[in-house]
Structure 1
């Protein structure tokens, strides 16, 4: 390797031609000033390009035949310790057959051109990986590019002259190039023609899926994503999977149609235009259940909530339909809410895996995104009580609207909790229903970032944009998202680029403010018909089977509607997202609110006070000032006197004695804002060594969790509430 490094150092003087003339990886587009890279003027085989040479070198060490012949020749000379000659005339003469096959015989400088061309192809591949999402066909309406970046043109390589950015030409299209290890477009092949390379890159990055992941710093994670999407043939579905997808689309769309027929003048915030969200959620749940998840906690806004309750949670349809009857009164205590704010909890068997699954959809008020940290808090609590520290049994899914995802600060706060040790839930799957409008506000007026999902980049969460009118692409993306979360325990975003067929609600007139968009929407063929026509055309299903599936679900809805007419009362207990055991008695009435005795003996209080005044760990040196505080605390205990901090300590300790876990969360709570609490002691001589005395009260006690939070108020409050 020392010979190679010497060669690289020498090559810095000779190889500026390619990267000084073109903006290889930094400026793929003629107007892409926003994406200019500091690597634009890097000399040949220096900087990031030297990394590429080292990559090829290690591949050559493992198997010389795995790299192009030009690299094989180059590295043989390097290992032999030969001085660098950019024209390599002696070597070229000895490799006559190689030179003739590449048109290099007796042509000084052509060997360097071969290496330069390979680097150019590497840069071309990287350009698609970084910015291919900007030209992906994401908008089902064909109006927008799904981002707001006006500097990015509509393509990467669609005309031959575009190759000039890389110093390549039309004559290079059929040349075969060695593929770097940072791409999987070759499948089992190590090299491809330039024509095939471009075609495969366009199929991966410029169709109905747009991938944003190259900002992630972890190489393993980037390679994982590349392999999932670049490998040829990965997005294939069996006929049975296609039929299941069609059936789920039928349920999603026919449910909305049924509500529109029965309650045409009612607000319900329907899902029309993004019906694919239902099979998308079911795919995430199916895949997660397959990997061991037992409990999924979800939060979402109002749009599509009734459909999720009916077709994902599988709430009894008659109970949903009862919510449309204004004459029904609640039979039990508690306050209700409008039907598109309600949540619930349900245990059932997942038919795809034949495993038990528990689903909880949190109730959500009109305060958009307020439910996000609450879901995270509930998920964290469930993981704690189940001993699921790795998040392999309990997970969360959050659904968002595009305008709220970009506009609400609590989204940012919640993301910043995702990797904090005491707040992480080991990854959340975010699904954005991106209907490209916020009530009446166009995207260009609703955000400053190109995408509504850009907030997720701050925590290195990959973002998968997908055209919602391509159901199979959506299902594949959702399956990969579930695998990502299970593999890396990190957040991931699925951006469903769709449209809103009606107004903000069913009474709203969208033509007032978006006339051109809604002219196109009125002409738009529903996704169910598109997909059904496709499956009928390829013989996966017949027209009769499709019509029978529709009739079957319509019949289910009609029968449930008939049963709903028999209900005379509503039951609040049926709409609880956290049905605590014993919350209701056998008669369905709330238990008495009388408070049981809470006093404890003086001996227990004295014991707690003594521990609160000590350091229960050997060889642990605390700050001298803290020693005085603990000494004063001990004197108060002896004198049967308490201050606020000691009273708090005794109250918490009494809970722990009874087996009740206590979690204290917030800004600076470990020490206390006024330096009064000191629930976490820090060793003055050993870095990061700490002690929590309250976890040393008794051998058999509940654990005590005390954790400083990020400088967030709304988000941390919501998580604590959850």
Structure 2
């Protein structure tokens, strides 16, 4: 096989040009040409400056074989991972062609020949092919398989190559380190064995089969701390979680044992969650310094925690470490079936290099059980590896045999150093197995009888490693026996102590970050706090944010927009929605709070109402006038997101979780699209405080309103949010004035606790001539949960209509058209918590009226009606479009006809 026979017919000038390109950038030319020129350079060192000239046929053959050895090296680098010893319980799938030298045009006789190509793999000088092959086998085909040759940055690939050359891609551990690895393996194995004995049949989703993760995590924290990391944010599902909590995070084992007993929680109104969903935060003392560890709480939705972890990490980087990404390390521990199949993983890794979401690289560890619930890996994905998603962002992947803890610790060292150097993601694929079924009560032999026959007789990683250490005289059996005895005695003592615990107590996640805040009480929601700001201060803010720099060129529409905004404040005293929103942000950053907004197209706003960022016409330079407010103490940040709802909402939820002094906002392009993030809404936003005792002040802005734009651009599914409301878990509002929106946003930060706020955000009201507020409405007062009708005489009213959001202005226009002075329109600005006291005050004013109506533009089976029917102090009649399967009509004419019918039904009722 002569892969370079084509050279005889190639024009010499073409080769010269190609060689010049190779010298400037080797990766810019086709790989076979690159191999040719590499061999050419090697041959020049051996045979002089004219290896292709007047030399005998043997010399030409020597040059050709140098090329073939380089090709062999390239083969190991790009395909060596397919021929590894990484699977502890299954034979590897067969791939062809293999890495046999014959497949590269070499012969058995070449094994004793020396080649200069040896220097390419870190060997000194020429070496025999047999030595080169053995060296390549050790680096690429033993307990670690490495994928990285798809990376397009030569600096990165060269660094990886150089790193792998060290000790043939292995770490030489001293005896103390080996004993430490064994000690953590012993803790992992003994902990699971103890639970299996004391709590027979209970679900614990054990780590058994993947125990090597425990020493690997221990060493990872050490390596990272030595590299400057001061805080870790970890996300993982339930597999092995209790073991990680106990043996890495140091959660008291007596507390874990008590949770197994199923005791009630200290706070009766607090529901809590199953033990393998809970989060935990702690500090760990290392040599000479302290690191912080956070394990984020996570539901059974396996990968839902991924974006939350990234958001937490980003908040900590910004707030605690002055933007230094090297100080905080996110670690995500995946399952093989989940990482391959859950779309949120793709959404999250696409954040790696984005300015609004980057966290300096994430360490991904996949506990590859080779089975998902009961599904064989061949049915779980189409890709070769579960980690093939890593190639999307050109992240290196190390596939590691879970029975070789030293190899895994070594791989983790690579991952830490790579992340710290390049601030990019890196993946570790830990090939292992699951000793039991999906949980300890499951029967895996139903679906994998052959695999579990092998697993049943397979020794655990502690047994394998201790045997290896004893064989090499690194360990005496008595040391292992004593180690096991001591740890078991500690477990028994903790078990006895757990019996003394009467009720379980959940330590709030990241408790130190929330030390200034308290839990809310029902009385907090009876009246909002005062949130006005002096007129003089508001005018200073307005002066800055409505004035463009004179030395920059902007399109005429932007200049007119800013001129009009200035006039709203200083000429007309009539601020619209966009101006009111920006005044809220400006006022908060003046007071020292931070503001973060993200979502699709938020810088401009989907409906071109915000323009928080404007672009210079001839350079596209970003201009943010909020950044220029004199004396501001807080930060303002706004980011157009990737086209994702699930991951971005999760990220911003995580950011708010770790940053209570930041007003964190996620805006949907249209409110309907929030259903793409339903898992975050259900599992985190609505339930986290009740499950995990975690507060959060995230604001969701969901454009909502029936304006004839069809079923996908009308409804933010208000009914779904209201159905999730209970125990004061969040706030749901449908606001009608700029000033009230301003006060709602400021209220988020001026309370001594945090609650999510879901806003049915307007569309047509953004530019409605009646949707304006005076400066005095911003400078005084508070958020109004209920806005009574002040335009008619209550004594003359014969009908009172309770309404929310945009429909109010439609009804108001109809009332004016009819000259109706008997229909009162009362706006319910906050739907949950329902302001019952204020509603009762309004009802008392209209006590003489029998006709009381709830009007909504959503179909009768949607919107707030069911919520109102259940919670409202008095019985109301309903005026709404008929129940419907779709939120709105696709035809604009039909939609407008239905809306007209609704309005008439209100006034004719």
| TM-score under structure 2 length normalisation | 0.67
Further displaced range: 499-508 or 328-337:
328-337
Does the Cα contact within 8 Å between 1:135 and 1:154 map onto a contact in 2?
no
Structure 2 unaligned spans of 5+: 1-5, 14-28, 655-909
Structure 1 equivalent of residue 34 of structure 2: 51
Partner of 1:222: 157
Equivalent runs, 1:488-637 vs 2, <5 Å: 488-572=422-506, 574-582=507-515, 593=524, 596-615=529-548, 617-637=549-569
Q: Distance in 2 between matches of 1:273 and 1:591?
A: 48
Matched, 1:247 2:183: yes
2:865 corresponds in structure 1 to none
Counterparts of 1:192 and 1:274, CA distance in 2: 39
Matched, 1:129 2:77: yes
2: distance between equivalents of 1:219 and 1:245? Answer: 35
Larger radius of gyration: 2
How much is the aligned-residue C-alpha RMSD, in angstroms? Answer: 2.4
Q: Does 1:712 align with 2:650?
A: no
Indicate the SS of the match to 2:293.
strand
Question: 1: CA distance between counterparts of 2:375 and 2:491?
Answer: 35
Aligned partners of 1:71 and 1:115 also within 8 Å: no
Residue 104 of structure 2 is matched in structure 1 by 166
Question: Aligned to 1:183, which of 121, 128, 131?
Answer: 121
Distance 1:71 1:580 in 2: 62
Mapped partners of 1:255, 1:529: distance in 2 = 15
Aligned pair 1:347/2:268, yes or no? no
SS at match of 1:554: helix
- Give CA deviations for 1:232-288 in whole Å, capped at 9, x if unaligned: 354211011100000000001101111111101211111111011111111111100
Query: SS state of the match for residue 297, structure 1?
Result: strand
- The answer for the alignment partner of 1:275 in structure 2 is 211
Match of 2:605, SS?
Answer: coil
CA distance in 2, matches of 1:127, 1:435: 28
Counterpart of 1:24 in structure 2 is: none
1:211 aligned onto 2:194: no
Determine the structure 2 residue equivalent to 1:12: 10
Question: 1:390–1:179: structure 2 CA closer, same or farther, 3 Å change rule?
Answer: farther
Question: What is residue 26 of structure 1 aligned with on the other side?
Answer: none
Q: How big is the shift at 1:139?
A: 0.9
Q: Deviations over 1:53-99 (max 9, x none)?
A: 65567xx7xxxxxx55x644342x38xxxxx64xx2xxx4xxxxxxx
- The question of whether the paired residues in 1 share the 8 Å contact of 2:39 and 2:67 is answered with no
Tell me the distance in 2 between the aligned counterparts of 1:422 and 1:367: 25
Contact 1:333 1:590 in 2 (8 A): no
Corresponding residue number in structure 2 for 1:651: 584
Equivalent pair of 1:182/1:223 in contact (CA under 8 Å)? no
The SS at the match of 1:329 is coil
* Residue number in structure 2 paired with 1:674: 607
What CA distance in whole angstroms lies between the structure 2 residues aligned with 1:609 and 1:288? 46
| SS of match in other structure, 2:167 | coil
Instruction: Give the drift of 1:415.
Output: 0.2
Of 150, 171, 193, which residue of structure 1 is paired with 2:128?
193
Contact 1:323/1:339, CA 8 A, preserved across alignment:
yes
Q: Is 1:264 aligned to 2:200, yes or no?
A: yes
C-alpha separation between the residues in 2 aligned to 1:536 and 1:72? 47
| TM-superposition CA deviations, 1:602-628 (whole Å, max 9, x none) | 22222322322211x451111111111
State the Cα distance separating 1:387 from its structure 2 match: 3.7
**DSSP 3-state at the match of 2:229:** coil
Change (3 A) 1:299 1:194: same
Indicate conservation of the 8 Å contact 1:256/1:270, yes or no: yes
Q: TM-score, normalised by structure 1?
A: 0.84
Q: Deviations over 1:542-565 (max 9, x none)?
A: 111101111111111111111111
Q: Structure 1 residue 634: deviation in Å?
A: 1.4
CA distance in 1 between counterparts of 2:413 and 2:134 reads: 25
Q: After TM superposition, give the deviation of residue 436 of structure 1 in Å.
A: 0.1
Verify the 8 A CA contact 2:265 2:272 in the aligned structure 1.
Answer: no
Cα drift, residue 592 of structure 1: 7.8
User: What is the CA distance between 1:406 and its match in structure 2?
Assistant: 0.4
- How far did 1:331 drift? 3.1
Residues 643-678 of structure 1: CA distance to partner in whole angstroms, max 9, x if unpaired? 211111011111101101101111111111111111
* Bigger relative contact order, structure 1 or 2 (CA pairs below 8 A, ≥6 apart): 1
Which of 237, 243, 254 is 1:307 aligned to? 243
Tell me, what secondary structure is at the counterpart of 2:255?
helix
Specify whether residues 396 and 123 from structure 1 end up closer, same or farther in structure 2 by C-alpha distance, changes over 3 A only.
same
Shift in alpha-carbon separation, 1:578–1:369, aligned structure 2, 3 A: farther
Q: Distance in 1 between matches of 2:511 and 2:353?
A: 25
Shift of 1:165: 2.6
Structure 1 CA distance, aligned partners of 2:145 and 2:277? 32
Alpha-carbon distance in 1 for matches of 2:629, 2:293: 37
